[in-house]
């Protein structure tokens, strides 16, 4: 089983130095692209590889790049979204801390494809070690001639900067990230115009996730057929999957996108802890719908998870066990989303705190039968098309699916209060 993203990681978890990365074949893709390929050819290669964005939305990466106008004045911007704030998600942290030059090479290749001359790593504030590692790696790349003016004698220029965010979940939304990077409040922008046309400081901009960018050097080096064959299914390449919750071995693993939920939980995460049973899982972070026991053999690719009624998202499962209160589980998530709302639109700003309050009331045994209808109303009122961005609709996914699969848990807490 090939693991291109993680195969050269050191056993002690320390970051690969520039020399170690080069010995493993690092920066050969950059040399190949700059010497043998036109920018458009790099975009075409990535488009034909069927690489889908690994940040959650799953949009085709090469297609996204193709929307950037080429014959316009610079600057143009390439931004790595390393603001990994999705609860239950920790896959990018591994790549940032252990293979920083893989990310940097991927960013340079992406910048070359769209002819960007400025790039940023927008990093989550809490990733202190990652900040230190990325800073050192950028300095090494400049010293080796991989960044700066006339990279490897190609005439292509690129500067790279590390920007540490201030800790807002909203910055995971690319236009809110752009506002934050400009020094403004992290609120989403109206689309159109899309960032590919008018992004950072009104200039053409591409925002890609860490894991997405780390795939690029391998695609350029080894081609589209190789990348597609890593996962002989609907989606191409490998994926870093994570499992958290009351399993025996929580963690993250790079696997083909043909792996099932059951395999992830039982074979890699070691199964449930002794005395506990599986009830459900959020398959792609906190803002995805629950899948339950009947879905355990669903393949963890974009098509399979969507057909089961959820989203692959970041591919990092949060497990619900039979000793954990479903109501408390969901209330905790809604508390997070309520805190992280930017407050820009009314349904999200007012609705999420109210949902949290209703769930808390049920959790402590003071709920009323009509509270369930109130929650159901809000899952629609805060659903897609009713808010300015996807934060509130994402927050509704665990709630609406909990009401679908675990409604009796809600009703039992309310019934217990009435009969007491």
Q: Where are the domains of the chain?
A: 18-229, 238-321, 326-419
Closest CA to 121 of 95, 154, 144: 95
Q: Would you identify the CATH topology of the domain 326-419?
A: de novo design (two linked rop proteins) (1.20.1440)
Three state DSSP letters for the chain: CCCCCCCCCCCCCCCCCHHHHHHCCCCHHHHHHHHHCCHHHHHHHHHHHCCECCCCCCCEHHHHHHCCCCCCCCCCEEEEEECCCCCCCCHHHHHHHHCHHHHHHHHHHHHHHHCCCEEEEEECCCCHHHHHHHHHHHHHHHHCCCCECCHHHCCCCEEEEEEECCCCHHHHCHHHHHHHHCCCCCCCCCCCCCCCCCCHHHCCEEEEEHHHHHHHHHHHHHCHHHHHHCCCCCCCCEEEEEEECCECCCEEEEEECCCEHHHHHHHHCCCECCCCCEEEEEECECCCCCEEHHHCCCECCHHHHHHCCCCCCCCEEEEEECCCCHHHHHHHHHHHHHHHCCCCCHHHHHHHHHHHHHHHHHHCCCCCCHHHHHHHHHHHHCCCCCCCCCHHHHHHHHHHHHHHHCHHHHHHHHHHHHHC
Q: What is the pLDDT of residue 415?
A: 86
Q: Say which residue the tokens 């201030």 belong to.
A: 166
| pLDDT, tens digit, 9 for 90 and up, residues 229-271 | 999 877 999 999 999 999 999 999 999 999 999 999 999 999 9
Query: Is CATH 3.10.20.600 the classification given to domain 238-321?
Result: yes
CATH number (3.40.50.11540, 1.10.10.60, 3.20.20.30, 3.40.50.300) of 18-229 reads 3.40.50.11540
Phi, psi of 205 (to 5 degrees): -145, 140
| pLDDT, tens digit, 9 for 90 and up, residues 116-161 | 999 999 999 999 999 999 999 999 999 999 999 999 999 999 999 9
For the cut 60, the answer to whether the pLDDT of residue 282 exceeds it is yes
Contacts of 191 (CB under 8 A, 6+ apart): 175
| pLDDT, tens digit, 9 for 90 and up, residues 318-338 | 999 999 999 999 999 999 999
> Would you state the structure tokens that stand for residue 169, as one six-digit string?
């979940």
| pLDDT, tens digit, 9 for 90 and up, residues 374-416 | 999 999 999 999 999 999 999 999 999 999 999 999 999 998 7
Contacts of 190 (CB under 8 A, 6+ apart): 388
Contact criterion met (CB below 8 Å) for 270 and 204: no
Q: What is the pLDDT of residue 91?
A: 95
For the cut 60, the answer to whether the pLDDT of residue 278 exceeds it is yes
Q: What is the pLDDT of residue 56?
A: 79
| pLDDT, tens digit, 9 for 90 and up, residues 67-118 | 999 989 999 999 999 999 999 999 999 999 999 999 999 999 999 999 999 9
For the cut 80, the answer to whether the pLDDT of residue 360 exceeds it is yes
For the cut 50, the answer to whether the pLDDT of residue 420 exceeds it is no
Question: Average pLDDT of 162-191?
Answer: 92
For the cut 90, the answer to whether the pLDDT of residue 418 exceeds it is no
Q: What is the pLDDT of residue 346?
A: 93
Phi, psi of 163 (to 5 degrees): -125, 120
Question: Average pLDDT of 34-53?
Answer: 96
Q: What is the pLDDT of residue 197?
A: 96
For the cut 90, the answer to whether the pLDDT of residue 172 exceeds it is no
Q: What is the pLDDT of residue 167?
A: 79
Q: Per the confidence metrics, is the pTM higher than 0.85?
A: yes
Q: What is the pLDDT of residue 417?
A: 63
Phi, psi of 278 (to 5 degrees): -75, 130
């Amino acid at each position: 089983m090939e693991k291109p993203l993680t195969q050269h990681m050191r056993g002690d978890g320390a970051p690969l130095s520039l020399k170690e990365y080069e010995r493993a074949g690092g920066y050969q893709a950059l040399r190949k692209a700059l010497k043998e390929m036109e920018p458009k050819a790099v975009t075409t290669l990535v488009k034909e590889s069927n690489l889908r964005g690994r940040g959650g939305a799953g949009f085709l990466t090469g297609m996204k790049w193709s929307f950037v106008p080429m014959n316009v004045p610079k600057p143009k911007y390439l931004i790595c979204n390393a603001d990994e704030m999705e609860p239950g998600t920790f896959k990018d942290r591994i790549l940032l801390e252990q293979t920083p030059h893989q990310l940097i090479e991927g960013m340079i290749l992406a910048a070359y494809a769209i002819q960007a001359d400025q790039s940023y790593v927008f990093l989550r504030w809490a990733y202190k070690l990652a900040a230190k590692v990325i800073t050192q790696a950028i300095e090494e790349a400049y010293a080796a001639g991989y960044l700066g003016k006339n990279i490897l004698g190609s005439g292509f220029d690129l500067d790279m900067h590390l920007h540490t965010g201030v800790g807002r979940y909203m910055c995971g939304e690319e236009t809110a990230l752009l506002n934050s990077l400009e020094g403004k409040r992290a609120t989403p922008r109206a689309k159109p115009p899309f960032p590919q046309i008018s992004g950072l400081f009104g200039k053409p901009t591409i925002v890609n996730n860490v894991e997405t960018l780390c795939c690029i050097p391998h695609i350029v080096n080894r081609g589209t057929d190789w990348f597609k064959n890593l996962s002989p299914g609907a989606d191409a390449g490998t994926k870093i999957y994570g499992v958290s919750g009351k399993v025996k071995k929580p963690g993250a693993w790079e696997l083909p996108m043909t792996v099932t939920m059951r395999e992830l939980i039982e074979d890699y995460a070691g199964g449930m802890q002794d005395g506990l049973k599986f009830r459900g899982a959020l398959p792609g972070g906190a803002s995805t719908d629950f899948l339950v026991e009947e879905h355990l053999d669903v393949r963890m690719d974009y098509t399979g998870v969507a057909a089961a009624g959820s989203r692959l998202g970041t591919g990092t499962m949060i497990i619900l066990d039979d000793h954990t209160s479903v109501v408390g589980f969901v209330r905790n998530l809604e508390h997070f989303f309520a805190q992280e709302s930017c407050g820009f639109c009314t349904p999200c700003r007012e609705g999420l705190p109210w949902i949290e309050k209703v769930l808390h009331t049920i959790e402590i045994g003071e709920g009323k039968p009509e509270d369930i209808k109130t929650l159901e109303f809000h899952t629609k009122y805060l659903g897609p098309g009713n808010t300015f961005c996807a934060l509130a609709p994402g927050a509704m996914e665990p709630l609406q699916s909990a009401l679908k699969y675990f409604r009796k848990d809600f009703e039992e807490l309310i019934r217990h209060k009435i009969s007491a």
